[in-house]
Amino acid sequence: MNRFEDTFAQPSKLALIGFPYDENSSFMKGAADAPPQIRAAFRSDASNFWSEAGVDLGAEGTFFDAGDVEPVAGTKMSSLIEDSVRTLLTDNLAPICLGGDHSITYPIIRAVSKKYPDLSILHFDAHPDLYDELLGNRHSHASPFARIMEEGLAKRLVQVGIRAVNGHQREQAERFGVEIIEMRHWRDDLTFDFDSPLYISFDMDALDPAFAPGVSHREPGGLSTRQAIGLIQRLKAKVITADIVEFNPRMDPFQTTAVVCAKLLKEIAAKMLE
């Protein structure tokens, strides 16, 4: 047993929970295989449990691993995700949720917004995920932020890494008042000051496929790993919950992307402990 696993029995601050679910992926399945791969990379002896700024994530009382939630069919999965996250929040744990496809973010946010009604969201993605529906599915992984904004579950939604927006999604962004920092307007000194509790949703395709090839929708021209980490480190915000989604191990033959997920997990976790 390594040091990380030793800490599970202690009272914890953060919770890891996996949702191995990709039924709402429109193009390619595989994201359901991600949570165990991310955990393995996180625990790997190839690195250590320290964040870059010096937070020891292997310290006692840091993590509770709630394991993976066994998927169920149809709309019941959405309730199961929402209930699982609500339970962790009720126990005063700050969840870090491992997907799965991006559809899991809507039920997660339903739970989070009940505890934090003035929620802000920072969303890393190549895509705005604002489709009213895709291929007849209103719960598509291309639609979670349309549902979230329709229901008024967040007071502010900021999107970064965006570089695949069509006309419909531009209209949706305008309708919901979404702040999109398109990739073509990216600056390396970009920073945000959030005055309300912040949720970070990290779709791995926000990164350039050169850094994170293990995704279902490779979109060139994205963020470097360094740029994404830099933005997380510069944030002025109280980060209360996060997700890392859309890693597809079937597209990741050399486990490159799994290691990037683990790195982001560390930096986001360190931010949450600030």
Q: Is 208 in the site for Mn ion (CB under 5 A)?
A: no
Identify which range of 3-11, 197-205, 220-228, 260-268 contacts Mn ion by CB under 5 A: 197-205
3-state secondary structure of 263: helix
Q: Can you tell me the distance from the alpha carbon of 181 to that of 74, in angstroms, rounded to the nearest whole number? A: 34
Q: Is 203 in the site for Mn ion (CB under 5 A)?
A: yes
Q: How far is the CB of 28 from Mn ion (least distance, A)?
A: 12
Q: Going along the chain, which residue ranges are E strands?
A: 14-19, 63-68, 94-99, 120-124, 156-162, 179-182, 198-203, 239-245
Axis crossing angle, helix 34-43 with helix 256-272, rounded to the nearest 10: 70
Q: Is 129 in the site for Mn ion (CB under 5 A)?
A: yes
Q: How far is the CB of 214 from Mn ion (least distance, A)?
A: 13
Taking residue 250's Cβ as centre, other Cβ atoms within 10 Å add up to 14
Of 89, 111, 126, 251, which one interacts with Mn ion (CB under 5 A)?
126
Q: How far is the CB of 145 from Mn ion (least distance, A)?
A: 8
Burial level of 36, CB count in 10 A (0-12/13-18/19+)? middle
Q: How far is the CB of 219 from Mn ion (least distance, A)?
A: 7
Residue closer to Mn ion, measured from CB, 194 or 202 = 202
Strand order in the sheet with 120-124: 63-68, 14-19, 94-99, 239-245, 198-203, 120-124, 156-162, 179-182
Q: Is 243 in the site for Mn ion (CB under 5 A)?
A: no
Q: How far is the CB of 208 from Mn ion (least distance, A)?
A: 13
Q: Is 205 in the site for Mn ion (CB under 5 A)?
A: yes
Residue type, 103: S
Alpha carbon 77 to its chain centroid, in Å, reads 18
Residue closer to Mn ion, measured from CB, 203 or 243 = 203
Q: Is 102 in the site for Mn ion (CB under 5 A)?
A: yes
Q: Can you tell me the distance from the alpha carbon of 69 to that of 205, in angstroms, rounded to the nearest whole number? A: 23
Extract the tokens encoding 59: 């310290």
Identify which range of 18-26, 125-133, 151-159, 175-183 contacts Mn ion by CB under 5 A: 125-133
Identify which range of 82-90, 119-127, 130-138, 231-239 contacts Mn ion by CB under 5 A: 119-127
Q: Can you tell me the distance from the alpha carbon of 22 to that of 27, in angstroms, rounded to the nearest whole number? A: 10
Q: Is 139 in the site for Mn ion (CB under 5 A)?
A: no
Residue closer to Mn ion, measured from CB, 69 or 245 = 245
Q: How far is the CB of 216 from Mn ion (least distance, A)?
A: 8
Summarize as ranges the residues that interact with Mn ion (CB under 5 A): 102, 125-127, 129, 203, 205
